[in-house]
Amino acid sequence: MRMNELIEKNMGLVIAVVNSFKPQNLTEREDYIQAGRIGLWKALKKHDSTKGAVLSTYAWNPIRWEIIKEIKALKKNRYKPLPPVHSPQHPAHLSSDSFWEIIPPSFSEEEVFLLELRSMGYKLSEMAEIAGKKNSYVKRIFYKAVKKLKEYNA
């Protein structure tokens, strides 16, 4: 069986390990799943079925350790999520495209761009790389935009 087929066949194990960490939101869950896939891939590369070890037993720890490494990385690069917007202009059922219609015109294109990147799940370091700016600059502009957004929706 090819590596991709083995990974897909054993994703239930990854999901079981991810669920044991009780991710707090969808983005965190997806990050854990990706880390778990890496752990599964590493386990598959090293697993020797001729020695009698069951793959699920063997893969449990590599999957778990990759998720733990991801959790540590997330804590190190902890971000503040965008505030939830509950206003008459933005009912919860609106699509994410509609969200951007309520951004005040006083926001710069750069602020809107960074808010949009963050809403897509990018970390600040990734946002800085995409924008071609330094991390400190992106962080300052992003948090300024979040503060403005909170004040606007207060």
84, part of any domain: no
Please give the residue range of the domain that contains residue 17: 3-76
pLDDT of 10 reads 83
> Which three-class secondary structure state does DSSP give residue 154?
coil
pLDDT of 102 reads 64
| Tokens found for residue 83 | 């505030």
- Structural domain tally of the chain? 2
Each residue of 60-74: pLDDT tens digit?
888 888 888 888 877
Whole-number average pLDDT of the chain: 77
Residue found under tokens 């403005």: 148
| Helical (H) or strand (E) element with 108 | none
109, part of any domain: yes
66, part of any domain: yes
Which of 6-10, 18-22, 71-75, 133-137 bottoms out in mean pLDDT, i.e. has the lowest? 71-75
Instruction: Indicate whether 16 and 56 sit together in one domain.
Output: yes
pTM, whole model, 2 decimals?
A: 0.48
pLDDT beyond 80 at 86: no
Cα 78 to chain centroid distance, Å, stands at: 11
Domain with residue 30: its CATH number is 1.20.120.1810
Each residue of 20-62: pLDDT tens digit?
888 888 888 888 899 998 988 888 888 777 777 677 778 888 8
pLDDT beyond 70 at 87: no
pLDDT of 27 reads 82
Determine how many CB atoms are found less than 10 A away from the CB of residue 31: 20
87, part of any domain: no
Domain with residue 110: its CATH number is 1.10.10
Asked which of 76, 108, 138 is the last residue of a domain, the reply is 76
